[in-house]
Amino acid sequence: MAHIVILGAGTGGMAAAYELRHKLDKSHEITVINERDYFQFVPSNPWVAVGWRDSEEISFKISPHLQKHNINFIPQAVDTISPENNSLTLANSETVNYDHLLIMTGPKLAFDEVEGSGPNGGHTQSVCSLPHALDSYKNFEQLCEDPGPVIVGAMAGASCFGPAYEYAFILNKELQNRKIRDKVPMTFVTSEPYIGHLGLGGVGDSKSMLESELRAHHIKWICNAKVSKVEEGIMYVDEHNDSGEVIKQHELPFKHSMMLPAFKGVDCVANVPDLCNPRGFVKIDNYQRSMAYNNIWSAGVCIAIAPTEVTPVPTGVPKTGYMIESMVTAIVENLDAVLKGEEPEAQATWNAICLADMGDTGAAFVAIPQIPPRNVSWFKKGKWVHLAKVAFEKYFIRKMKTGNPEPFYEKQLLKMIGIERLK
């Protein structure tokens, strides 16, 4: 019998726990460790930040759902990982031993890299976690009481740009609903080399489509932007040219700002010798296995992926939902093989499907694979995307509650359009 420990209970960790329980012999023990006792559907956080969702609608207690599938759950932060002892030390000083460790922690939010940024003691808001989104909503209500300039975007080194675009358009719509949009000038500030780059070198016609949408919604933008400092009510932004030279320095006033930070690896993972790159992301091989420890596996935002291209201001590569699910399936197949004394063979496709809400419409893209060059690169806009994202929110939360991470009809539908989890 093997003890498999999963560190993290987000999109990857919950799916991995369920898939492992379905795939492996029931004699194997599975334990999920997470610093919070609840699951949160992160893609809905922009809706929370304008009051379109309550926390109860997009989160649920983890333990009861895992217990139904005979999966252990420990709601504790991890202080240290000791690969030489195959053990973890928790924040309450408890020790947990493992035979195989799956690292799916998500990121550490690097607000400290930009002076004055972040929701805790800084001057900008975030939609990266449910508590941050709830705080952002309070700040948004203050904006509505005393309207003024708004800045939305992503800091240098950020890798997940979609939520910034979503929030800008959702915020625009809610301000229109409250009939105060005319009192709120908006600027989109991004480290991307151009609008619609998304950390992916663009997808289909994302550049012209998103530029058109920003113009149509009277949102100005600054690309190749590096935020150097944030003070109360003012953001200092260096704008660069394609050679990386500063061509203009902006001092932008604001009453409300939501800026996505750069990501790093969480401390307990980043501190393990030889496990990670300098940013604290886990280095893996083609089978999602650590390049330093053959009983450590990793998937999701916490893995190391090289940028698609060098950009004047650093940008990272996003790890989208379906891409993460494909990594999880590869790990499950490979771990099953290893436990049977076989060699791992499964490789994730890293295909990307994204639904981005824009208030009353939306944009969808399919990238196969996510990292260019691609076999498929498709980007479309329409009201159907908004409706599809609302439906997907309910569907995905139900998947995480019921423990069926890839229903048969989902698998067959995606297969029909050429999207599969494994190569």
Order of all β-strands in the sheet with 78-82? 78-82, 87-90, 95-97
Strand order of the β-sheet with 234-240 is: 225-231, 234-240, 246-253
DSSP class of residue 282? B
Is the N-terminal amide bond of 369 cis, ω within 30° of 0? yes
Question: Distances from the Cα of 151 to the Cαs of 28, 378, 406, 411, 418, in angstroms?
Answer: 50, 29, 38, 40, 39
Q: Catalytic positions, please?
A: 160, 354
- Is the distance from CB of 351 to CB of 341 less than 8 angstroms? no
For strands 100-103 and 3-7, give the pairing: parallel
CA 5 to chain centre: 22
Going through 160-272 in order, the beta strands assigned E by DSSP cover 186-190, 219-222, 225-231, 234-240, 246-253, 256-260, 263-264
Cross-strand bridge partners of residue 31: 5, 72
The DSSP annotation for 83-104 comes to TTTTEEEETTS-EEE-SEEEE-
